[in-house]
Amino acid sequence: MKRNILFGLAILFAGCAASNIALTSTENTSYKYGKSKFAGYSKAMFDQGRTINAKNCDRCHKLKDPANFTEEQANRIIPNMAKKAKLSDADKDILLKFYIASGKHA
C-alpha cells in the first residue's frame, strides 16, 4: 500500500515538474516574440498553447509545425480548426497566440 502511494506521489510531482522544463532556444525566441506582441502573455500560456496543440490537433490530422505559418495564415486557419475541435474560446485564443508566437515573423 505504501509503495502505491509513493508511486502515485512520484507521478504527481513529475507531472508538476514538467511545466518547469526550460525552453529550447527556438521556443525561447517564440515565447519572447509572443510576450512582446500580446499583453500579459506568459510562459504558462505558451506552454498551454503547445499542450492544446499536441492534445487536440492530431485527432484529425498530423500535427503541424507552427513555424510554417504566418500570422495571417494562423488567423485564418486556427479559428476554423478550433471550431471543428470544439475548443473553448479561451483555448482557441491561447492556441492562436501560440501559433502566432511560434510562426513565421516578418
- Helix extents (H) in the chain: 2-17, 25-37, 43-56, 71-84, 89-102
CA atoms of 76 and 90, how far apart (whole Å): 17
Where do the domains of the chain lie? 24-102
| CB atoms closer than 10 angstroms to residue 28 | 13
pTM as predicted: 0.77
Gyration radius of the chain's alpha carbons: 16
How confident is residue 3, by pLDDT bands cut at 50, 70 and 90? low
| Residue-wise pLDDT tens digits, 57-105 | 888 989 999 999 999 999 999 999 999 999 999 999 999 999 999 999 8
In this structure, are residues 74 and 96 in contact, taking their beta carbons and an 8 Å threshold?
yes
Average pLDDT, the chain: 85
CA atoms of 58 and 20, how far apart (whole Å): 24
